[in-house]
Amino acid sequence: MVARLCEQGWTVVACDIDPERQRQAQAAGAWLADTPQQAAQALCADGVLIVCVVSAAQSREVLLGAQGAWAALRPGHTVMLCPTVSPQDTEALAERLLAQGVGCIDAPMSGGPARARDGSMSLMLAAPDALLARHEALLAALSGQRFRISARVGDGARTKLVNNLLAGINLVGAAEALALADRLGLDLNTTLDVIEQSSGQSWIGSDRMRRALADDLAPRAHVTLLAKDTALALAVARQAGFAGPLGEHAARVFEQAAARDAHSDDAVLLRHLRQSPGGPGPESGSEAQG
C-alpha cells in the first residue's frame, strides 16, 4: 500500500515495528516515523491515518497506546481502519475518534500484497457519504474494487467477516477434497486442474492448493489469520442468533492447524488434513504427488 501510494504521487509517512518494513517503505519513497504519534503529527489538516495491522488490540495500541496517534489527531483528520476485527471493536474506536472530531472510515481490505501493490485489492467501505467523498481520490489510488457497504461504521467489519468465513469454508473444503483425492490414489495436480475448470473451483482453493502442492508454505497469509477471522465470524453469528452447519467445523480445522503450524501459510491445511488419523503419512508413496 505504501509503495502504491508513493508511486501515485501521494506524500506518505510510514510507521512499522519491523525495521525491514521501514526500510522498504523508505525505499519506496515514504518518510519514516518512529511512533504512531509522530506519524499523526505529520498529517496535513485533512490528512488520513491508515491503520493496517492484524488485530483489535494492535489497532488500540496504534491509536490509544502510550505512543499512539491519539494525542496528535485533530478535528478534520480521518482514521481509516483496515484490519479484520469485530464490528464492536470498530464501533468503539470510531466512537472515541468522533468524540474528538476525527472521522473514521471502516475499510477492511481483501486481496493480499500483490493486489495491494497494483491497486486492485478490494475495500469494503462503511462511513458517512461526505467522508468517503472527501477521500475518494485516496481510496481510488488504493483500490479498483471499492464496495460502498453503508453509512454505518461496523458494517465493513461485518461484511469482511462474512467474506472470510466463506473463504475459510472454501479453503477447508479444497484441502479436504485434495486429501480425499490423495487417499484415492489420484494425481493431485491433475485433480486440481479438473477442479479449477469445474463446479468445485474457488479462488482461494486454487491459490492455496497450488502452493501446497509445490510445498511452498512461506507465509503470505499466516494460518493464524483465518483462525482468528473464522472465530470472529462465529462470535458475530452467535450474537445474531445464527448457527450455520459449516462455519464451526471450518474454524476448528483452522484452530488445529494454527496450533501445529502457526508460522506457516494457510496452504498448510492440505498437509494437516493429509496427516489426519487414517490419512497417508509423510512416508506414503502418494506424498511424491504433492
- The CATH number assigned to the domain holding 267 equals 1.10.1040.10
- CB atoms under 10 Å from CB of 180, counted, come to 14
CB count, 10 Å around CB of 230? Answer: 28
Based on the fold, state whether residues 128 and 166 are members of the same structural domain: no
**Residues 162 and 155 sit within 8 Å (Cβ to Cβ):** no
Q: Which of 108, 133, 152 is the last residue of a domain?
A: 152
- Residue 278's pLDDT band, with cuts at 50, 70 and 90, is low
Q: What pLDDT digit, counting tens, does each position of 5-19 carry?
A: 999 999 999 999 999
Q: Both 223 and 204 in a single domain?
A: yes
Q: Specify the residue for cell string 496504534.
A: 62
What positions carry a catalytic annotation?
A: 160
- Report which secondary-structure segment, H or E, holds 31: strand 31-32
φ/ψ (deg, to 5) at 185: 80, 20
**Phi and psi dihedrals of 152, rounded to 5?**
-90, 110
Distances (CA, A) of 260 to 253, 264, 276, 280: 11, 9, 12, 18
Contact assessment for residue 281 and residue 275, using Cβ atoms and an 8 Å cutoff: yes
Residues 62 and 189 in one domain: no
User: How confident is the model over 53-74, as pLDDT tens digits?
Assistant: 999 999 999 999 999 999 999 9
Give the pTM. Answer: 0.90
Domain extent, residue 174, equals: 158-289
Burial track 87-121 (b if 16+ CB lie within 10 A, e otherwise): bebbbebbebbeeeebbbbbbbbbbeeebbbebeb
What is the DSSP pairing of strand 48-51 with strand 145-150?
unpaired
**Helix (H/G/I), strand (E/B), else coil: 248:** helix
Residues 283 and 166 in one domain: yes
Instruction: Say yes or no to pLDDT of 113 above 90.
Output: no
Output the average pLDDT for the chain: 93
